[in-house]
A and B are shown apart, each in its own frame.
Chain A
Amino acid sequence: MEHEVHADADALVVALRGEVDLEHSPRARAVLLKAVEDAASVLVDLSGVTYIDSSGVASLVEAFQSARGRGSQFALVAMSAPVQRVLELARLDRVFTIHASVARGLGRED
């Protein structure tokens, strides 16, 4: 799994790429939690994720809860098919704020 964090306006965009499984989810968790610490608005770009399992989902949930506790914004954007499927299976697709793209997530038009 690769990750990349960049700022855009007031938000931090965290892009995850590759497989977010038990081997890599600890790193994903760390990166996401730090982003939530550093910015009031975090967007997680999942367009490059080819595989995610329950441990990867758990790291998203944990970051989401941390953001909520601080009153910050946290949204998932541009989900790939595997992520979509897994979130639906976990019925978490209704829990997260999800945007179709990074632009939408930043409040801009595509």
Chain B
Amino acid sequence: MPAPAPLPRALPTVAGQLDMELIARLTQEFATSFDVAATLAKAVALVTETVEAEGGALFLLEDDGQELVCRACTGPVDLRGLRLRRGEGIVGRAVEENRCQLVRDVSADRGFNAAVDARSGFRTRSILCAPMRVQDEPLGAIELVNKRRGDGLFSDADRHLLQALASSAGLLVLNARLAARVAKQERVRRELELAAELQRSLLPAAPTPRFPVHGINAAAYEVSGDFFDFFTLPDGRIAFDVGDVSGKGMNAALLMAKTSSVYRCLAKSEDGPGRQLALLNDDIHERATRGMFVTMVAGVYEPDSGRVRLANAGHMPCLYRARDGTFRRIAAEAPPLGILRHDPDEALPETELELAGGALYVFTDGVTEGCAEDGRELGIDGFERLVTEHGHLPPAERLETMVGRFRQGTFRDDVTILVVEDGERPVQVGVPESHPGERLLEMRFPAKADWLKLVREAVREATARCGGRGAVEDVVLAVGEACQNIIRHAYAGTPGGEIVLTLRRKGCDLVVLLRDFAAPVDPSTVKPRDLDDVRPGGLGTHFIRQLVDEVELLRPRSGVGNVLRLVKRIA
């Protein structure tokens, strides 16, 4: 065999230019595809073509750097998937030594593994292999076999070219991997966004501002493990529930969606929150992932009576705020759902309470564990303070304002608040009893100035009806003055008080009883002002005594409040 031609010392300028063009082209190709496998295939094809080899293969270090795996290949033999131990073969040597390997004649090199040739039938004569490395980190190698031109053997010029190409290829591989990772993260984020959207769509909105139930949910991350729900039942009662699923993320969100939906069905077909939660517990216990559980409050509100029935399974206590501003906590009487096996026929314990114009708050621990503006944990006390401070706002606005107040602090958990607010009771007018002519009118109404006109009209009619024509205006005035006194003095501006008025005819007498529930008034302090003392206010008592025949302040049998008894003789 003739001696190989001497290698040129420097690369021809034309070849050098080809270099840069190739690299630029490769980079551009990759930027459009983001497909790692396709990019590698293109890279190895281009390199093989440029250096004019018969075949080329790109190996990547995988499995924590222990193996070299062929990920792209071009030429007569497909080596993709071929695995070499680190350091094995010419490729392994190139990576280990971080040096380009030029094996002009493989028959003379002991490192050469002839096994692949034996299997494929291909005859390897010359190998050129360059390591790929980025910033001191080995990535793999590109191996070329059998120069196509001349004597079929690679030259130093080929080696220089491949080295340059290999480092660019290394960068490409790195970029491709990073891009793939970013794309995956994007997908995951997008999925979470969709899940959050779905969750939000499951939360109901109150149909009108005056609807008795309102809720608010603010998730700490994309998806929430908290939920609330409410809906009107066919008979007009309103069912409501609040829940908190253990854990966070997709798992919790999915269990939340399921629990909320299953509860909706149960509330429509089963009676009573205690029974509904017992059945729900059964379902969660059986089918939820081990270790997941739900704390939940379920209840039903009767708008006509203001009564609430509720059951609390391991959840935070509910908070009842009465019309006079006092608070009462209603604690859980059962463990969270999904933890214990429980006979589904045995209902969970229920609590019944009358809202009586007050409001019931149900919330999750994200609220009380949130921070108040001073940075300290809010706690139930802090929550009560917020409720008191914003109690004058309409319910939906109140919840938003409250959440706004403490969201400013550190905020570690999902926040959910639901409020059931008992509206102003309408005037309750009594039906005349079985003795007609006896009880003419019974009214229970809020002790507020804007109700007085209605009361006057009713009293006017009732008095006229029992024949007291001449006395009508006097009775109306007297009742108006008496109510004024109760509003201004007995309740002294405290909101939420009520008055019960009864108007009866007893023989020739018209008897009016006015009952309030304020602190008992000492009758001796109730006396008419001296009329010569012309001063605003305080004329009420005098009026009354002038208008009716008898005025008496009584203490009711139950000891609560006062009763004013007026008697007017009618013809």
Contacts and interface: CB of A to CB of B under 8 A. Distances in A.
A19 interface: yes
Interface string B535-571: 1111110110011000000000000000000000000
Contacts of A38: none
A110 B475 CA distance: 36
Closest 5 CB pairs of A and B: A58-B536, A54-B539, A23-B449, A22-B449, A62-B536
B534 A61 contact: yes
B335 interface: no
Contacts of B118: none
B450 A23 contact: yes
B452 A58 contact: no
Interface stretch (B133-141, B160-168, B480-488): B480-488
B177 interface: no
A86 B453 CA distance: 17
B273 to A, nearest CB: 41
A61 B535 contact: yes
Contacts of B547: 89
Interface in B481-538: 481, 483-484, 487-488, 531, 534-538
Given A82-B473, A89-B543, A21 B480 contact: yes
B481 A53 contact: yes
B453 A19 contact: yes
A61 B537 CA distance: 9
Interface string A24-64: 00000000000000000000000000010111011101100
Contact of A54 (B452, B473, B484, B534): B484
Interface in A64-110: 65, 82, 85-86, 89-92, 95
Interface residues of A, number: 22
Interface string B441-455: 000000001101100
A23 B484 contact: no
Interface of B: 449-450, 452-453, 456, 473, 477, 480-481, 483-484, 487-488, 531, 534-540, 542-543, 546-547
Contacts of B481: 53-54
B14 to A, nearest CB: 100
Contacts of A59: 536
Nearest to A52: B477
A66 B185 CA distance: 77
Contact of B473 (A62, A65, A85, A95): A85
A85 B471 CA distance: 13
Interface of A: 19, 21-23, 51, 53-55, 57-59, 61-62, 65, 82, 85-86, 89-92, 95
B492 to A, nearest CB: 14
Contacts of B483: 22
B535 to A, nearest CB: 7
Contacts of A90: 531, 539, 542-543
Contacts of A21: 449, 452-453, 456, 480
B484 A58 contact: no
A65 B535 CA distance: 9
Given A22-B483, A61-B536, 19 more contacts: A21-B449, A21-B456, A22-B480, A22-B484, A51-B456, A53-B477, A53-B480, A54-B539, A55-B484, A55-B537, A62-B536, A86-B477, A89-B542, A89-B543, A89-B546, A89-B547, A90-B539, A91-B531, A95-B534
Which of B477, B535, B536, B547 has the most chain A CB atoms closer than 10 A to its own CB?
Answer: B536
16 contacts: A19-B453, A22-B449, A22-B452, A22-B483, A23-B449, A23-B452, A53-B477, A53-B543, A54-B481, A54-B539, A54-B540, A57-B539, A58-B539, A59-B536, A82-B473, A86-B543
A92 B531 CA distance: 8
A82 B547 CA distance: 13
A53 to B, nearest CB: 5
A29 B330 CA distance: 47
Contacts of B537: 54-55, 58
Nearest to B474: A85
A22 B455 CA distance: 13
Nearest to A95: B534
A54 B450 CA distance: 16
Given A61-B535, A62-B536, A54 B543 contact: yes
Contacts of B487: 22
A30 B135 CA distance: 84
A65 B194 CA distance: 71
B488 to A, nearest CB: 8
A23 B535 CA distance: 20
Contacts of A23: 449-450, 452-453
B278 to A, nearest CB: 51
Which of A54, A57, A90 has the most chain B CB atoms closer than 10 A to its own CB?
Answer: A54
A64 to B, nearest CB: 8
Nearest to A86: B477
Contacts of A54: 481, 484, 537-540, 543
B458 to A, nearest CB: 14
Nearest to A54: B539
Contacts of B536: 58-59, 61-62, 65
Nearest to A21: B452
A22 B485 CA distance: 10
Nearest to A24: B449
A54 B439 CA distance: 28
Nearest to B536: A58
